[in-house]
Amino acid sequence: MSDWNSVAEALKLGGWVVYPLSLLAIVALAVTFDRAWVWWRYASAPCGEAARALPDGHVLRRIDALFEEDGAPIWFIENQVDTAASQIQRDMSRGLWMLETIVTAAPLLGLLGTIVGMMHSFRLIGGDGLVNPAGVSGGVAQALVATAIGLVIALVSLFAFNYFSRRMDRLMDELETFANTRLGAVRLAREGSGAPA
């Protein structure tokens, strides 16, 4: 219980900058959890029986549906696959710009808290010397708490952003491999039947 009390005291020391930093933390967590759920639901790699029971919005099902048109020219299918892949990339990366912005904004807000806290401390030092030592140390504590909170939020957001960006790169490679395999099968089937590719 004393740990929670010390956290609450630290937040009080952080001053008004803690409120926008808290908002950034909530947004970062919301985007991270949302993207984690979307990736788990619509982009997890299927295996075995699960491959046949993909949800309707799954990225592999969206690409696979483009190959169901019999007789469509290969160039048309390739164009449709490229368009679908671009749409999938936009859908799966929705909200990541917020994480990227928070990575930059949170330390800057923490720095603003540092400046405000230091200004408060310097204001308490009068022309005759140190007027209020407790007030000066409180201002320094405010500066340090705001900086620490901003850095923690930025680090969490950075890890989440980098994780989802790497997953996006890997997903696009997987979709390209999947589409090329299906296009190869279509070409082979048409060559075997004598139909024009």
The predicted pLDDT at position 144 comes to: 82
Q: Is residue 194 part of a domain?
A: no
Token pair belonging to 127: 């022309």
Domain encompassing residue 6: 2-42+57-189
Give CA–CA dist 143/120, Å, rounded.
Answer: 9
Reported as a single tens digit per residue, the pLDDT across 61-78 is: 888 888 887 778 888 889
Helix (H) or strand (E) holding 197: none
Q: Is residue 16 part of a domain?
A: yes
The predicted pLDDT at position 172 comes to: 93
Give CA–CA dist 28/157, Å, rounded.
Answer: 6
Amino acid at 117: G
Based on DSSP, count helices (H) and strands (E) in the chain, helices before strands: 6, 2
Q: Is residue 48 part of a domain?
A: no
The predicted pLDDT at position 49 comes to: 47
Give CA–CA dist 47/41, Å, rounded.
Answer: 14
Torsion 159-163-168-173 (CA) sign:
positive
Tell me how far the alpha carbon of residue 15 is from its chain's centroid: 28
Q: For residue 35, give the nearest of 134, 157, 185, 179 by alpha carbon.
A: 157
Asked whether the beta carbons of 38 and 93 are under 8 A apart, the reply is: no
Low-confidence residues of the chain, pLDDT below 70? 1-14, 46-52, 123-139, 141-142, 194-197
Q: For residue 74, give the nearest of 192, 171, 188, 174 by alpha carbon.
A: 188
Query: Quick one: DSSP state of residue 170?
Result: H
Asked whether the beta carbons of 85 and 106 are under 8 A apart, the reply is: no
Asked whether the beta carbons of 35 and 159 are under 8 A apart, the reply is: no
Give CA–CA dist 188/162, Å, rounded.
Answer: 39
The predicted pLDDT at position 117 comes to: 76
The predicted pLDDT at position 17 comes to: 83
Count CB atoms within 10 A of the CB of residue 34. 12
Q: Is residue 197 part of a domain?
A: no
Count how many domains the chain has.
Answer: 1
Q: Is residue 30 part of a domain?
A: yes
Q: Is residue 196 part of a domain?
A: no
* Phi and psi, residue 194, nearest 5°: 85, 5
Q: Is residue 50 part of a domain?
A: no
Q: Is residue 97 part of a domain?
A: yes
